[in-house]
């Protein structure tokens, strides 16, 4: 089924802006430059949800621009500083907990590499590109030849190699090659992509499994963000190399994701299976990267259908959208920064796509 383009008459940007305003009122501490983890509570957010919030703020700035949006964006970027780890090996990394303590995850850090690369793109300041490169170097340090290659999920506890670090690391490596022209980034992008595809892709449906442990056992959980990042990596690599295999990989995974892998059409509305909006935001990101080289509207229109339905039918009395994008009875004690930020980013990205391509 194909969604009508009439859905794009919906004001996704306005819905995203209203949601982000609620997020900032409920989660952001103006004086302390930090965000809370949950709406009900006082604990400072872990790096993963804080990064998701930063992605939403960045998309807001891309869509609306202006001094106020830029200030929010820069303040949010400043709030990443307290997560930095003190190291003696010259590498730059950030810990899971505010204050720079606790576990260090390679995948937490790769999202920051992408965030800082986007800040370079949005704010035209090379310091963000330099930070992106430094964090990416840290992520490369998690590679070894056990299991034929791959980067570990966690620095402190190297027990598995996960798609959620390797797929976005392949993607940001390709993007850094585009930004810098440095051959090492293309070499890494192709090497990481190849290992991830050969090791963690389910060849029956072109959807990616979650991880492989050091005994060689594959965890067959399938999450939208893993496949989305591999679609994005393949699209970027196709743009760089012209190798049709990358394009075919991206199309096969995207078609499988669209047609049952991560969602289905029900009574004229696209319903996403993954109930983590942040995971879904990276599937949309992959679709948008693929659209640049293979403009199939249905990929994005599926998200437009789902997101418009959620904004109209799954918003609670406090103005937050249920993480499942269906339920309206969503108690405030379940409202989480990551879920709301992922939803806001999706709303902004749909509007950005529609504006960019005059839809």
Q: Give the SS3 label for residue 315.
A: strand
Q: What is the domain count for the chain?
A: 1
Parallel/antiparallel/unpaired status of strands 211-213 and 218-219: antiparallel
Residue 232 in contact with residue 182, Cβ under 8 Å?
A: no
Angle, CA 220 vertex, CA 141 and CA 279 arms, to 5° = 70
For residue 315, give the nearest of 2, 19, 34, 7 by alpha carbon. 19
- For 133, phi then psi, to 5°, come to -65, -40
What does the DSSP assignment read for 27-66?
A: HEETTTTEEBSBSSS-PBPPHHHHHHHHHHHHHHHHHH-S
Helix axes 224-241, 244-256, angle to 10 degrees: 160
Task: In whole angstroms, give the CA distance from residue 41 to residue 47.
Answer: 17
Start-end of H helices in 28-162: 47-64, 67-78, 106-123, 126-140
pLDDT of residue 196: 99
pLDDT, block means (10 residues), the chain with 359 residues: 78 98 97 95 97 98 98 98 96 97 95 98 98 98 98 97 98 98 98 98 98 98 98 98 98 98 95 97 98 97 97 96 94 97 98 97
pLDDT of residue 2: 56
pLDDT tens for residues 293-340? 999 999 999 999 999 999 999 999 999 999 999 998 899 999 999 999
Task: In whole angstroms, give the CA distance from residue 263 to residue 256.
Answer: 10
Range of the domain at 340: 5-356
**In the 8-state DSSP scheme, what is residue 80?**
T
Secondary element (H or E) of residue 270: strand 269-272
Beta-strand ranges (E) seen in 117-204 are: 160-162, 201-202
CATH number of the domain that residue 217 is part of: 1.50.10.20
Task: In whole angstroms, give the CA distance from residue 106 to residue 139.
Answer: 6
Secondary element (H or E) of residue 269: strand 269-272
Parallel/antiparallel/unpaired status of strands 201-202 and 207-208: antiparallel
């Amino acid at each position: 089924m194909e969604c009508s383009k009439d859905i794009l008459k919906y004001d996704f940007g306005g819905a995203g802006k209203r949601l982000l305003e609620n997020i900032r009122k409920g989660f952001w501490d103006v004086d302390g430059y930090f965000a809370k983890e949950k709406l009900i509570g006082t604990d400072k957010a872990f790096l993963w949800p804080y990064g998701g919030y930063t992605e939403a703020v960045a998309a807001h700035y891309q869509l609306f621009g202006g001094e106020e949006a830029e200030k929010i964006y820069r303040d949010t970027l400043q709030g990443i500083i307290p997560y930095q780890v003190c190291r003696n090996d010259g590498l730059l990394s950030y810990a899971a907990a505010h204050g720079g303590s606790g576990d260090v995850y390679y995948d937490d850090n790769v999202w920051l590499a992408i965030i800082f690369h986007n800040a370079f793109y949005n704010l035209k300041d090379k310091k963000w590109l330099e930070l992106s490169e430094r964090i990416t170097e840290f992520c490369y340090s998690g590679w070894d030849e056990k299991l034929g290659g791959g980067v570990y999920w966690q620095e402190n506890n190297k027990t598995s190699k996960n798609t959620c670090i390797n797929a976005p690391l392949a993607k940001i490596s390709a993007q850094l090659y585009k930004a810098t022209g440095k051959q090492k980034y293309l070499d890494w992008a192709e090497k990481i992509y190849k290992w991830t595809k050969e090791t963690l892709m389910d060849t029956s449906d072109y959807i990616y499994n979650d991880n492989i442990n050091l005994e060689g056992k594959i965890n067959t959980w399938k999450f939208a963000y893993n496949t989305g990042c591999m679609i994005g990596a393949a699209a970027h690599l196709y743009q760089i190399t012209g190798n049709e295999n990358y394009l075919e990989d991206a199309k096969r995974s995207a078609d499988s994701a669209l047609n049952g892998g991560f969602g289905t059409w029900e009574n004229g509305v696209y319903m996403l299976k993954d109930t983590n909006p942040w995971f879904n935001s990276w599937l949309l990101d992959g679709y948008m990267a693929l659209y640049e080289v293979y403009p199939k509207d249905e990929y994005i229109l599926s998200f437009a259908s789902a997101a418009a339905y959620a904004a109209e039918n799954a918003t609670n009395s406090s103005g937050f959208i249920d993480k499942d994008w269906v339920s309206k009875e969503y108690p405030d004690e379940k409202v989480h920064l990551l879920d709301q930020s992922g939803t806001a980013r999706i709303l902004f990205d749909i509007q950005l796509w529609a504006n960019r391509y005059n839809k």
